[in-house]
Amino acid sequence: MFYLPPGPGSSGAEGESRGAHQRIAKGKPDVDKVLNSFVAEMKRRKAEANGPPVDVLNLSRALALDTVTAYLFREYFNGIDKGRLCVTEFINFVAGGRIFYLPGWLYDFVDEWAAKLEKKKIVVAQSIDMMQEYATRVADRSIVEEKDHESDTFQGRLLAAGISRDEAIAHVVGAIFAGTGAAGTTMSILCWNLAQHPEK
Measured between alpha carbons, how far is residue 75 from residues 66, 71, 107 in Å? Answer: 9, 8, 38
pLDDT at 81: 76
Measured between alpha carbons, how far is residue 166 from residues 17, 35, 120, 140, 171 in Å? Answer: 29, 31, 27, 10, 9
Convert the pLDDT of each residue in 102-157 to its tens digit: 676 776 676 666 666 656 677 777 778 888 999 999 999 999 998 888 888 999 99
DSSP for residue 53: P
pLDDT at 3: 47
Convert the pLDDT of each residue in 151-177 to its tens digit: 889 999 999 999 999 999 999 998 988
pLDDT at 1: 42
Distance in angstroms (rounded) separating the CA atoms of residues 96 and 75: 27
Distance in angstroms (rounded) separating the CA atoms of residues 195 and 190: 9
| CATH-assigned architecture of domain 12-196 | Orthogonal Bundle (1.10)
**Closest by Cα among 143, 14, 2 to 72:** 2
Q: Domain residues of the chain, as ranges?
A: 12-196
Q: What residues contact residue 131 under an 8 Å CB cut-off, 6+ apart?
A: 87, 90, 173, 176
